[in-house]
Amino acid sequence: MEVRSMNELLEICSSEQKSISEIMLMMEIEKSGRNEEKIISMMEERLLKMKDAVDSGINDASTAPSGISGGDAVKMYEYVKQGKALSGSFISDAMTYSMATSESNARMGVIVATPTAGAAGILPGVLFSIHKNSGTPFKDLVMGLFTASMLGYVIANRSFISGAAGGCQAEVGSATAMAAGTIVELKGGTPQQVVNATALAMKSLLGLVCDPVAGLVEVPCIKRNVIGTSIAFSAADMSLAGIESRIPCDEVIEAMYRIGKDMPRTLRETSLGGLAMTETGKKVKERLFCRKS
């Protein structure tokens, strides 16, 4: 079995009468030669690693070795716990868990790249928020990882998933799109609604540049992960409400590819443009590496 586009994926789901996560599981069995039990247990391990990163992040207020990030997940966690968050519980918890994961990454902790380390906070953010707020069991979250994997697989094969190749639209954009689709499947949406949410989320981040300060995956990466979770929930809600993307998902992915190709090198993880070249961004780099930009 090969899945080369979202349209093809929808056709397979329809002919097999299966969900996107089930199709991904079938494909993985076929490609890897492992049995279902083994593949699910490997995915469970990844979910538990994600949980460890979240737990570590919400309990550790230390700064990263760079000194430019750390401690914000604890602040967010306390703020949400006090009932002060303006966003609803799904989004505010997802923001907290996403920040916790991304801060763990900055501290060199173990994370699961979904699809990359820079964008690793978004998927666990939404998954553990759904677990907390709607009681979705871990076994369903594991299947959610298969949904996200399939969406990421198609995006990666048709476009980019790294900031160096296509800008942050390819990293945070892809992760947000994967998370949006995953939320929809976990909440009982159809494969068409999953793909639609993927398109809605990705569209909202097209053109986002990759401009990490001092070349470190911290500023603006961590906060982009946090905000990615709210976009994922917004896209999922729109799709579950029956609102469609006017541009089909495969065409949105193609647009992301073309935009990435047009994006100058200075805005593709070189730290030669955008926020990295602001006055403060340059000072941070100078302080960390003791030389002028």
Judged by CB under 6 A, the residue of 70, 115, 118, 121 near ligand SF4 is 118
Instruction: Report the nearest approach of ligand SF4 to the CB of residue 111 (Å).
Output: 12
CB of 9 or CB of 226, closer to ligand SF4: 226
Question: Which residue of the chain is nearest ligand SF4 when measured via CB?
Answer: 163
Judged by CB under 6 A, the residue of 20, 205, 217, 226 near ligand SF4 is 217
Task: Report in angstroms the alpha-carbon separations of 36 from 16, 40, 97, 205.
Answer: 17, 6, 29, 35
Query: How far is residue 222's CA from residue 218's CA, in Å, rounded to a whole number?
Result: 5
Instruction: Report the nearest approach of ligand SF4 to the CB of residue 173 (Å).
Output: 9
CB of 143 or CB of 155, closer to ligand SF4: 155
Judged by CB under 6 A, the residue of 47, 119, 122, 145 near ligand SF4 is 119
Instruction: Report the nearest approach of ligand SF4 to the CB of residue 227 (Å).
Output: 11
Please state whether the peptide bond connecting residue 115 to the residue before it is cis, i.e. omega within 30 degrees of 0.
yes
Residue indicated by tokens 């919400």: 58
103 touching ligand SF4, by CB under 6 A: no
Instruction: Report the nearest approach of ligand SF4 to the CB of residue 229 (Å).
Output: 14
Query: How far is residue 276's CA from residue 293's CA, in Å, rounded to a whole number?
Result: 10
Which residues lie below 8 Å from residue 209, measured CB to CB, with a gap of 6+?
A: 167, 168, 169, 263, 267, 268, 273, 274
Asked if 170 and 162 touch (Cβ cutoff 8 Å), the reply is yes
Asked if 211 and 275 touch (Cβ cutoff 8 Å), the reply is yes
CB of 118 or CB of 273, closer to ligand SF4: 118
**CB-based burial label for 135 (10 Å; 0-12, 13-18, 19+):** exposed
Q: Interface residues for ligand SF4 in 155-194 (CB under 6 A)?
A: 163, 168, 171-172
Instruction: Report the nearest approach of ligand SF4 to the CB of residue 207 (Å).
Output: 12
Instruction: Report the nearest approach of ligand SF4 to the CB of residue 166 (Å).
Output: 9
Judged by CB under 6 A, the residue of 196, 224, 229, 232 near ligand SF4 is 224
Task: Report in angstroms the alpha-carbon separations of 237 from 72, 149, 185, 187, 241.
Answer: 27, 21, 12, 10, 6
221 touching ligand SF4, by CB under 6 A: yes
The candidate with the shortest Cα–Cα distance to 72, out of 280, 277, 220, is 220
CB atoms within 10 A of CB 217: 25
Count of chain residues binding ligand SF4 (CB under 6 A): 14
Contact positions vs ligand SF4 (CB under 6 A): 118-119, 163, 168, 171-172, 210-212, 217, 220-221, 224, 269
